[in-house]
Amino acid sequence: MSRRVIISGNWKMYNTTAEAKELVEGLLAGVKDLGEKEMLIFPPSIHLKEVVAQCEGSKIQVGAQNMYFKEEGAFTGEISPTMVKDAGADYILIAHSERRHVFGETDELINDKVKAAFLYDLKPVLCIGELLEDYEAGKSKEVCRNQLVEDLKGISAEQMKQMVIAYEPVWAIGTGKVATPEIAESIHMSIREVLKELYSEEIAELVPVLYGGSVKPDNAAGLLVKPNIDGVLVGGACLKADSFLGIANA
């Protein structure tokens, strides 16, 4: 069974309106050559509508970086699933390491967000990954397993068919360090084992598992060639069109 290959980019808190427009223009000029690979970008929510409109009819799909799990209410500074849908986005990035470790999101809150994504017909890209101390203590697989078990509570096998998992070792994000393709492949295999345990072999083989953590054009090919790495979630290197396209074409 061949899985989808997804080249995704998280813009984080970068880009003015003019910069966002210029970046998308650059991507649109080069995205035609991607073949079967999919491209997915996560701009800041303030740019969602403009980016969606710019990407309409192209191979570029758009998602939001974050949302709250309630439809509406007194939650100042948050955006709701209905707002994300209204802006035209199809995907939602959930539990990026910065949401977990900078903003203190718990697995309980993350689980609520995953449930809300499916309730409002958004496709979740669920991020999991271990801290440096976990990695050094040999607990990478244990931490990822625990996050998956907690974050996927109450999620059905049918819903999982729309799920994307992104493994991002926190020690490799923005640090210049990157998990070797062998380390990443080993964790990705263990993620499939957990999905098989929670659901079935069919689901474990179907769900795309992306790698995130200091991905650049010069290391992308070594990662993407691995059988259990189905794409990447790129940070800094997605902010320049030539760099992101270089990764996509690796």
Q: In a 3-state reduction of DSSP, which class is residue 68?
A: coil
Annotated active-site residue 19? The verdict is no
The Cα–Cα gap between 64 and 85 comes to: 9
Alpha-helix residue ranges (DSSP H) falling in the chain: 17-30, 48-55, 81-86, 97-101, 107-119, 132-136, 140-151, 157-160, 181-198, 201-206, 217-224, 241-248
Annotated active-site residue 168? The verdict is yes
What is the identity of the amino acid at 96?
Answer: H
Contact of 41 with 125, CB cutoff 8 Å: no
The Cα–Cα gap between 195 and 116 comes to: 20
**Annotated catalytic residue within 98, 105, 130, 168:** 168
Contact of 4 with 208, CB cutoff 8 Å: yes
In the block, residue with structure tokens 């271990």: 130
Angle at 221 between CA 220 and CA 222, to 5 degrees: 95
Length of the chain: 250
Question: Distances from the Cα of 19 to the Cαs of 23, 214, 234, 239, in angstroms?
Answer: 6, 22, 18, 9
Classify burial at 33, counting beta carbons within 10 Å of its beta carbon; exposed 0-12, middle 13-18, buried 19 or more: exposed
**Annotated catalytic residue within 96, 105, 130, 188:** 96
Which residues participate in catalysis according to the annotation?
96, 168
